[in-house]
Amino acid sequence: MGYVGNQTTTAYTSMTKQVLTGVTGSPVKRGFTLTHAVANAQEIEVFVNNVRQEPTTSYSASGTALTMTGDVETTDNFYVVFQGKAVGSITPPDGSVSTAKIADGAVNLTTKVNSVLPVANGGTGSSSFTASTMTLATTLATTSGTAIDFTGIPSTAKRISVLFRGVSSSGSDTGVLVQLGTSSGFVASGYISTSNYDGGGSSDSTGFYMVGITTSQTLSGIMTIAHMGSNVYVSSHSGKRSSTYGVFGGGDVSVGGTVTSVRIKQVSGGSFDAGSVNIMYES
């Protein structure tokens, strides 16, 4: 025989009678535990001394909790009949739906997550997150001149990356310097900076130093400069000196102001003759 309407669910309802006569309850005479979870008061029939009680008025129910609005004595003939079907729609009780039953993309985490979403569940582990913006400046040639300046860096920049590609010197030099600029000008002292390669290395106090530029050696790589607060900046770099050596190093400096510009020059102040540079900053 055919069936019209909602199919009967068997997950959490059945034609079952639960006798509660003699149960004290918690709170006493009013709070009772059901043997089957329900969604609401309409899914059960409650009888006290064989008199059916009115749903939501005489009692409420959710999950396995049954709460009576009046006292039920332990001597009362008290029992519950679970309905076999719900009319119109079937609402699962709290805690009964597994992750596998939820369609991908069905939950809006922006409105549903009220606290910290753990990293293990795809979150950040933080109660708040502010997205950053990465900005790539215009690449400048290092085919001439003694200094390349990038200005207009916002004061909110948290990280600056300086990009080198095939940079070389027209004279004899040991490397390039990256100097940070504030509203007071470019800072040319106070750096604690070192750079090394397979054949040696050096240090410098007038800028963030990156070894590897000569008339016969070109430098390619990335120097990352990060603001760690209180106008203190730290740097690290890696790259290659022509096709022979790898280059690596780092440093730190306190500049006394917010960085808004970057200057790239040679240690000895000589001229560039090949390559290009650019910066990318995160704010």
**Following DSSP, what letter does each residue of 155-205 receive, concatenated?**
TT--EEEEEEEEEEESS---EEEEEEEETTEE--S--EEEEEETTEEEEES
Domain extents in the chain = 10-88, 134-282
Exposure string of 88-104, with b = 16+ CB inside 10 Å and e = fewer, is eebeebeeeeeeeeeee
Strands 219-227 and 232-241 come out as antiparallel
pLDDT, residue 199, reads 73
pLDDT, residue 95, reads 77
Q: Which residues contact 225 (CB under 8 A, 6 or more apart)?
A: 159, 160, 161, 162, 178, 180, 208, 233, 234, 235, 259, 262
pTM, 2 dp? 0.57
Q: How many residues does the chain have?
A: 283
Q: Which residues contact 2 (CB under 8 A, 6 or more apart)?
A: none
Helix, strand or coil, per DSSP, at residue 47: strand
Any alpha helices (H) in 44-189, and if so which ranges? 109-112
Cα 237 to the chain's mean position, in Å?
26
* Residues 243, 124: Cα–Cα separation, whole Å: 40
* Residues 173, 212: Cα–Cα separation, whole Å: 9
CB 218 within 8 A of CB 182: no
Report the share of the chain in percent with pLDDT over 70.
83
CB 221 within 8 A of CB 245: no
* Residues 62, 202: Cα–Cα separation, whole Å: 73
Question: Does the bond joining 118 to the residue before it have cis omega, within 30 degrees of 0?
Answer: no
pLDDT, residue 219, reads 93
pLDDT, residue 13, reads 44
Across 32-46, 109-123, 150-164, 242-256, least confident range: 109-123
Residue 127 confidence (pLDDT) above 70: no
pLDDT, residue 232, reads 97
Q: What's the CA angle centered on 275, arms 280 and 223, to 5 degrees?
A: 35
CB 265 within 8 A of CB 175: no
Q: What is the mean pLDDT of residues 192-202?
A: 90
Task: At 33, list the tokens.
Answer: 């535990």
Task: At 24, list the tokens.
Answer: 């004290």
Instruction: Note the pLDDT tens digit of each residue in 210-247.
Output: 998 888 889 999 999 999 999 999 999 999 988 888 99
Q: What mean pLDDT is reported for the chain?
A: 87
The class (CATH top level) of 134-282 is mainly beta
